[in-house]
Structure formats: C-alpha cells, structure tokens
Structure 1
Amino acid sequence: MNRLLKQTSIGVVMFMMMFSMFAKAAELPDFTKLVEKAAPAVVNISTEQTISANVASQDGPQLDPNNQALNEFFHRFFGQQPFPGQPGGPQAPRQEERSSLGSGFIISPDGYILTNDHVVKGADVIHVTLSDRREYKAKLIGVDARTDLALLKIKAKDLPTVKMGNSDTLKAGQWVLAIGSPFGFDHSVTAGIVSATGRNLPDDNYVPFIQTDVAINPGNSGGPLFNLDGQVVGINSQIYTRSGGFMGMSFAIPSNVAMSVVKQLKEHGKVSRAWLGVLIQDVNSDLAQSFGLQRPHGALISRVMPKSPAEKAGLKSGDIILSFNGKEINHSSALPYMVGQLKAGEKVTMDIFRDGKNKTISLTLETRPASKHKTAQSMAEQNRLGMVVGNLTADLEKKLDTKHGVVVEQVIGGAASRNGLEQGDVITMLGGKQIKDAQSFSDIVKNIPDNRSVPMRVIRQGYPMFIPFKIGK
C-alpha cells in the first residue's frame, strides 16, 4: 500500500510539473500569423553611389613608364601592376559603384516607403526589392537627419502595407518583433521585449528612442518594429555595440515621431521645427542643492540665444525649466523633443525655478533660423575635437570680462569628452595661441599634432584654468 501511495505521489508531481511547463509555453506568443500578414509590406533597400577611383596601385616602388625591363621585373617578382598607359595596365581613373543594404516598409498602397536617412544617404540610385522579388527604383521624397528618417516613393499600385500603431502606449516588458535584412538575409524575424521607452541618446535630442533587446544587426536599419497586434510602433535605427554586432541593446524611432515627420515630408519635402532658443544642461544632485531645489530635475538654461523667443519672454541663464506645456521635465534631454514636436507660432507655458521661487512664463515659439555654423557632426569632424563651438555673445563677453574666445555649445564625444570639456565652457587659448573667434579656433586646431598634449585655457563657471589637451588619432 505504501509503495502504491509513493508511486501515486510521484505521478502527481510529474503531472503537475508537465502541466506547469505546458501552461508557461501557452503564455508565450506565437508570431507566425503576425509575420505572414506583415512581412509582404517589408522591403529590402540597396543603394548605389558612384565615386571616382584610381585603380593604379599606390603600394610598392614607383615605376618608370619608359623602363620596360624594370617594370617587368617588379611585375613578376613583387606583383606590381603595369604602369598606367602600358599594355595590361589601367588607362585612366574609372568610376566605381558602392552599394549599401538596409530595410524599409510600405506605408501606403501607392508606394510610399519609410526607412532610415543613413540607409540612403549619399545614394545616386535607390533600389527597392519587394517580398515577391519585384524590384523598383525609388525616388527620394525627403529626409530628416535629426530623426534619421527618409521617405521614398516607387511607381506601383495596390501594394501591401503595414498598420501603424500608437508608440505612446508602449510599456517596458511588452513583446515586440522586428523584420528586416540583417547582413543581407532578407525578411529575417527577431523578437524580444521593450526594455525602456523615452531613451535619449547623445546627439539625438529630438528622438525619445524605444530601447529593446530585439536582435538588430547591420541591414535591419529602417525596418519595422511590431507590437503583438501587428502594428508598427517603431523604426529600427541603432544598436549599442562594442563589437560591431548585436549586444542586447537596440533602439527604435517611435512610430508617432515618424508619422509626424512623414506628414511634413509629403507636404513640403522637409521638416521645420519650432525654436525656443536656449542651451540647456541636466541638473545633477550638486547643482540642485546649489540652486535650492529639493531634488535634481528640470533643464538648466546655460545660455539664451539673442533675439530668440526665450530672450523675448525674459528667460535668463540660470533659470531651470521644470515643466513645458504642463509636462514635467525630469531630464533636460526631454525638452528638445517637446519643443521639436510643436510648430512655429504656437503659444506655450513653462514653469521655471528662479532665485529660489517658482514662476510661470508664456511665450510664442518661432521658426528655427538658418544656422550660421555647420552641423554638429561636420563641425566635429572639421575641428577634430568632437565638439561644436560658437562665438561669444555680448552678454557673455561682459560677464567674463573677455573680448576673445569661443563657447562650447555641444560636446559630441572624442577628444573633447576624453579631456573633460563641458557645454558652456569658454576656450580662450589653445597651444599657446589666443583664440579670437570660431574661425580662428578652427584654424588653430588644424595645426595641433596628434597624440601630444597642448595647454588649453578654459573659463568654467567664471573661473579660468589651464588643462592639458590631447588629440588621439
């Protein structure tokens, strides 16, 4: 009897374990129907770019076109190519085509396609291949570099389309699925969960990214991110990696941001955004304590642009913007996106913290003026320091009692980040040479040697100091 009871107990335990396993398996989503329905609207994108390329080898000894014996010797024993113009040798520089690969998805039956700006950037020809192998040449309708989005159009009708969803309803922990062409393997499907929403990445202040653990690799860029209802809630754009491949963190542009951009690209071919006219920084614990805030939050204004809506409304350096149009600002990175979503001419209200007191300010946003400086990326490449600088304003010159120097408007990374420079720093000397303005700064930087420290004089929060500055290769 005891043996029978024991066997029965073991059987009950095994049954419960198997039931639990089946129950858990039943809770996992089945993506097959979603993929069957959505995949036909996902496309493969390849591009062509024509560049000038000289096929003559630049390695090895320089050949003499008049010495045939010497040429033959080097050709046989060192693999040297025949001299240009000689038999068997290249006759002239030729045109070479390079292609890139990415993904996209059809948003309307008449052929509008959404993808990333970086997928089609610089392309002379854009090819779109559908799931049924039909191939089209696409027309570029418009791009928005700030959100890394591009709108294409192909001449076709009755195309399969995706369903757009509301990215604002996404929550951490929800299942999501990506379809794309990683490494050219078209219509590959990967799945995961939403890790976080509202992520702000360096130099992408206009996009509150969706962070996921969905496997994304080169070729997935521009492809859709679906929720379990088969709706597009994001456009896969970036990954965090140290190896060049997927490492568990990927980022997608929210669908609501994308469709706002699409609307303007369709109507105007470009995107215009409202402008507030302030430079801001985050409020850490030390700054919060020094300003008298109970906790670190808000966007601290480090500079007010001349003739900007902010200046006209009376905003000042040192003001902390706590909320914008009723939405609380926990991190300063949230403010650019809030402003960028609005149109010029719209009235807004802000709660600010000034001199230990709360105050409400109203103003009318304006159109962002054409920048007198190059874009952050191009300026960073030009000055090799990984930062954007601007000329001093009259107010800043008076405050710092200096008539020369440049102000650090943005730290991109690279040498500026490694050497500890911060937004709002004023650089007055570099390598023993006085800096007059942004142009002289750029000229001085060109002559700074790599991998050698040079003295840099910086005024930070009113205090001048020298720091050793080193540019790495």
Structure 2
Amino acid sequence: MSMAFLLFFSTLMLVQVAQARNLPDFTELVEENSAAVVNISTTQEARSRNSRGLPFDERQLEQLPDIFQDFFRGPQSPFGQSPGQAQPRRSMGSGFIVSEDGYVLTNNHVIEGADEIIVRLSDRRELPATVIGADPRTDMAVLKIEDDDALPVVRIGRSANLKPGEWVLAIGSPFGFDYTVTAGIVSAVGRSLPTENYVPFIQTDVAINPGNSGGPLFNLDGEVVGINSQIYTRSGGFMGVSFAIPIDDAMSVFRQLRDDGRVSRGWLGVLIQEVNRDLAESFGLSRPHGALIAEVMPGSPAEKGGLQSGDIVLSYEGEPINLSSDLPPKVGRTTVGEQARITVMREGRERTLNVEIGRLPEEDDSVSTSEQPSSPGTGPLGLRVEPLSEDMLENLGVSGGVLVAEVGRGTAFEAGVRSNDVITELNREPVRSVEDFRKIANNLPTGRAIPVRIVRDGRASYLVIKP
C-alpha cells in the first residue's frame, strides 16, 4: 500500500511540475516594459458659483474687488474656506510612452476637463503634459511630455493577430497603486459595445480597476496590443470582464491626432439594424446574418453608390458581415475617398457595389419612444392609418407613407408598431397612400414573416409582422 501511495504521489507531483512549466513567466516582460508605463494624475480647478449658479474659477475671482470676491465666495469659515466651497477635483489613470520624443497614449476620460496633467515615470520623474488631441469616439487622448533625459518607449504589436485564449498582461495604477501587474487571457475579439460603434474591443479577463484606464495591454512577446479602457461591472469593481482598445485602431487615431489634430473616419450614411431570425425569414435568408439597411441618408455616399433601404450587407471588402455591429468599424477604418466593395442581398439576389467612402460627420442623437396599445384598431393588422400631409412628408424626408393613428392589440403591436410611426413599406412594397396600405395589407400571405419599414423620430427601421 505504501509503495502504491508513493508511486501515486510521485506521479501527481510530476504532473503538477509539468503544468507549472507550461505556465508563462511574466517577470522578464514586466522588467523590460514597466519603465515606459506612466501614472497620469489630473487636477480640475474648483469652480465658485454666484447666486445665479454661474461658475467662475479662482483666477477670475481674484481679479475682482474684494467686496465682489466675498459676495461670490460667500461667508468664510474659521479655517479660511467658504462653507460648501468646491475643492479641486483630482483623478488618476495610466498611460504609456510610444515615442522617444515624448508622445503618451491614454484614455480620453482620464484627462477630460483637466486643468493640469502630470505624468509620473517609474524613476519618479514628474513631467507636465500638454494635450495634443483627443477623440471621444474611441476614448483616446494623445499627450506630450518634454525631458532632457532619454524617455523609454514600448514596442507596438498587432492586435489583428490576437486570438481568444492567448495570454495577455496589464500594467497600470489601480486605485493609485503604481505599477500593478495583472494577467489573464483574451476572452474574445471584435466586441461591440452599446456606447461605441467604431471600436472592435478586445475582451479579456485581466483584472482592471479604476486607475488602470489608459494603461497598456501586452502580449507574451512584450508588445502592446491594446489600451485598457472599460470594465463590465454591476458592483463598481472588477467582475471578470474588461475591454481594451485594439492597438491597430489606437495607432491610427494617434497618427491622425499627432499630424492633423483631428480624426477622420469613413462614412457610408446608412442606418442599420440586426438581422434576427424573423427578419432573415422575411427577406429570404437561410440564416440570420448581415446588416440590414433601414435607411439611406439623402446625399450620402451610400445613396451615390446605389445602396437602398432593404439591402442586407453580406460582406465589406471581401470580409463577411455576420452581425450588424461588424460593419461600422470596417467602414470607419476605411480611408476617406477610397472605393469600398460591398456585397448586398437585394430581392433575393446578391449584388456587389463599389461605393466611395465619405467623411463621418457629427452624429445627431435621436430618442425612440414606446407606448402601450390603445383601444383595438379598426383597420387591417389592427392599425388605423391616416394620410400624411405635404408638410409631414417634407419634415420626415419621405416620398410617401401613412401615419399610424391607432394601434390595437395584435400582430402589429407585438411586432413593435406604435402610434405616430410612419409606414413606408409593407412586404417590400412601397406604401404611398392609405389605399396602398389597405390593398397590400389585405393580400398578405399568412403563416410567414412579413417585413414592414417604419420611420420613428426621424429614424427608419424594419419590423416583422406575422399575420
């Protein structure tokens, strides 16, 4: 028995030693790269407020006569500070040096609104930084520091080569603890988040916390492959899901901010939506995939290139579009003025179009509304529709359609149709009048999904009705 136990114990030890040998050793990587990682501390000056709530900073107040300073600041406390007077706001983050002449990359939210930015190196040098440029869309900022001594730099890798399961490592200052090292694996690539359509995030399980923002994500070769940017959390702390900006995208933004002071992104000029199972069935697709074009903006590159509402984008420059979120990053990375090859499904047939990509303009936010069903409708599909006036047609930018005046309980409401929606297509046929709507609706096939195109709050989308 003792011999068998000894044999088993020896075998177990050998297995554990073999497994330990397969685990990566990060010590050399950390030693070689820590010097190029920096701590970023920011200060936002306190704002005093007058009786009307208007903000003034201290420098502006000091230029006023004493009587006005006392009025704006309010009564002084025995400790020389007005009761409730705002204190300077301080925050911390991380960053890394990408060039010997002192360019530093970090997150935009780390330095946004800061009046003073200090970059601290591993040898405890503290250098003031100036903002070269920032891009809120990608949450990136480029800083510049100056020093007589040589500045250490990181090596830049390729995020396009990352694969799920690959080891990665982060260096940063969570909660102000400088040069904290955490490691994990790549959980997924190409993640799209609701707050940002133009960044295909790297998802990892590397422990990231407040203060890590802007810090580098390394691969095992000691190359930066991402910028740690966000975490998914319900508690405010790390929960095993963190996101990094791919370094390929980050370096493109860096070069544009450094050279031009602004970022230019490709733009098609379409509103897209996900193709779910019902939409795939209604458009004749064998499975859900692609990006459904709900609206083509007038005068946009998409309109000039021949794209139409109802087209389903299947590939972009030869790369398949599986989810609608795959399309915006690919378009955004395309150089303005270049021709892009886009394959779409239109009326059951694939077509390839060459579209010249434009420059992305400022976005306008729109708010969608939802409401409860009213009393049962009296028309086809449980809808009561009305004609659109000339003014409404002009304001909505549509050539025809009908206004949904009332929605009763039934398939239309279950599909998401609401009062004040404008129906412009039904079963892929244009609706230009109440008569058109009734004629198409009364002859719809049963037992299969039917697409209906609506315009709500100025934005078009497709819904699916099952009569």
Confirm or deny a common fold (TM above 0.5). yes
Closer, same or farther in 2 for the Cα pair 1:54/1:426, shift >3 Å? same
1:188-237 C-alpha deviation (Å, 9 max, x unpaired): 01111111111111021111111011100000000001111111111000
Partners of 2:419 and 2:315 in 1: how far apart?
29
Residue type at the aligned position of 2:233: T
Are 1:340 and 2:332 matched, yes or no? yes
**Structure 1 equivalent of residue 225 of structure 2:** 233
8 Å Cα contact 1:321/1:353 also seen in 2: yes
- Structure 2 gaps, min length 5: 54-73, 371-391, 406-413, 423-451, 457-467
User: Structure 2: how far apart are the matches of 1:350 and 1:91?
Assistant: 63
Question: C-alpha separation between the residues in 2 aligned to 1:41 and 1:86?
Answer: 45
Matched, 1:270 2:271: no
Deviation sequence 1:338-384 (CA, Å, 0-9, x none): 0110111100111100111111111111122355x3xx4xx77xx99
- Describe the shift of the 1:128–1:27 C-alpha distance in structure 2 as closer, same or farther (beyond 3 A): same
Kept in 2, the 8 Å contact 1:213–1:250? The answer is: yes
Q: Name the CA shift for 1:15/1:87 in 2 (closer, same or farther; >3 Å).
A: closer
SS of equivalent to 1:215:
coil
Return the alpha-carbon distance in structure 2 between the equivalents of residues 206 and 392 of structure 1: 32
User: 2 CA distance for matches of 1:276 and 1:106?
Assistant: 34
- Evaluate the alpha carbon distance shift between residue 88 and residue 123 of structure 1 in structure 2; reply closer, same or farther with a 3 A threshold: closer
Aligned length: 377
Mapping of residues 143-162 of structure 1, within 5 Å: 143-156=134-147, 157-162=149-154
Separation of aligned partners in 2, 1:421 and 1:158: 63
Relative to structure 1, the CA distance from residue 310 to residue 23 in structure 2 (aligned partners, 3 Å threshold; closer, same or farther) is same
C-alpha distance in structure 1 between counterparts of 2:415 and 2:124, whole Å: 51
Q: Is the 8 A contact 2:404 2:421 kept in 1?
A: no
CA distance in 1: counterparts of 2:331 and 2:305, whole angstroms: 15
Partner-residue secondary structure (3-state), 1:131: coil
One-letter identity of the residue aligned with 2:121: L
Structural mapping, 1:193-342, within 5 Å? 193-342=185-334
Indicate whether 1:98 and 2:89 are aligned.
yes
1:30 is paired with a residue whose SS is coil
- C-alpha displacement of 1:403: 12
**Equivalents in 2 of 1:118, 1:195: separation in Å?**
24
**Which whole-Å CA distance do the structure 1 matches of 2:415 and 2:46 have between them?**
37
* 1:84 positional shift: 2.2
Which of residues 154, 159, 164 is equivalent to 1:167?
159
Q: Distance in 2 between matches of 1:253 and 1:270?
A: 18
Q: Distance in 2 between matches of 1:97 and 1:227?
A: 38
Distance 1:421 1:304, change over 3 A: same
Task: Identify which range, 358-367 or 289-298, moves more after superposition.
Answer: 358-367
Deviation at 1:286, TM superposition (A): 0.7
CA separation of 1:269/1:403 partners in 2, compared to 1, >3 Å: closer, same or farther? Answer: farther
Match of 2:430 in 1: none
> Structure 1 residues 175, 393: CA separation in 2 closer, same or farther (over 3 Å shift)?
farther
User: C-alpha displacement at 1:402, in angstroms?
Assistant: 5.2
CA distance in 1 between partners of 2:9 and 2:82 (Å) = 79
**Counterpart pick for 2:102 among 79, 93, 111:** 111
Contact 2:182/2:206 (CA < 8 Å) preserved in 1? yes
Greater alpha carbon shift after TM alignment, 93-102 vs 203-212: 93-102
> C-alpha deviations, 1:408-431, integer Å up to 9, x for none?
xxxxxxxxxxxx998x989569xx
**1:124 CA drift (Å):** 1.1
Query: Which residue identity lines up with residue 217 of structure 1 in the other structure?
Result: N
Task: Say if 1:11 and 1:284 are closer, same or farther in 2 by CA, change over 3 A.
Answer: same
Q: Which runs of 5+ in 1 are unaligned?
A: 1-5, 59-82, 386-390, 405-419, 430-459, 465-473
User: Could you give the per-residue CA deviations for residues 305-331 of structure 1, whole angstroms, max 9, x where no partner exists?
Assistant: 110011112211111010011110000
Write the distance in 2 (CA, Å) between the matches of 1:92 and 1:20.
Answer: 66
Question: CA 1:45–1:85 in 2, change beyond 3 Å: closer, same or farther?
Answer: closer
Alignment RMSD: 3.2
Contact 1:53 1:93 (8 Å CA) reproduced: no
Residue 264 of structure 1 aligns to which amino acid in structure 2? Q
Alpha-carbon offset, residue 96 of structure 1: 3.5
The match for 1:140 is 131
Structure 2 counterpart of 1:11: 6
Question: Is the 1:55–1:94 Cα contact (8 Å) retained in structure 2?
Answer: no
Contact 1:53–1:96 (Cα < 8 Å) also in 2? no
User: SS state of the match for residue 199, structure 2?
Assistant: coil
Change over 3 Å in CA distance of 1:245–1:421 after alignment to 2: farther
Equivalence for 1:366: 358
Of 21, 25, 37 in structure 1, the residue corresponding to residue 20 of structure 2 is 25
Task: Report matched runs for 1:398-413 at 5 Å.
Answer: 398-401=399-402
Q: Secondary structure at the match of 1:333?
A: helix
* Amino acid across the alignment from 2:264: S
Confirm or deny: 8 A CA contact 1:54 1:93 kept in the other structure.
Answer: no
Give 1:346-385 correspondences, 5 Å limit.
Answer: 346-371=338-363, 373=364, 376=365
Instruction: Tell me: CA distance 1:235–1:91, structure 2 relative to 1, closer, same or farther (3 Å).
Output: closer
- Structure 1's 463 and 278: CA in aligned 2 closer, same or farther, altered over 3 A? closer
TM-score (normalised: structure 1): 0.73
Secondary structure (helix, strand or coil) at the match of 2:217 reads strand
Q: Please name the residue that 2:408 is paired with.
A: none
Asked if structure 2 preserves the Cα contact closer than 8 Å seen for 1:54 and 1:92, the reply is no
Aligned mates of 2:2, 2:114 — CA distance in 1: 72
Q: Distance in 1 between matches of 2:117 and 2:343?
A: 47
Return closer, same or farther for 1:251/1:86 CA change in 2, 3 Å cut-off. closer
For residues 205 and 86 of structure 1, the distance between their equivalents in structure 2, rounded to whole angstroms, comes to 49
Question: 1:271-329 CA distances to partner (integer Å, 9 max, x unpaired)?
Answer: 01121110100101110000000111111001101100111122111110100111100
Q: Secondary structure at the match of 2:198?
A: coil
Q: Sort the Cα spacing of 1:95 and 1:38 in 2 relative to 1 into closer, same or farther, 3 A.
A: same
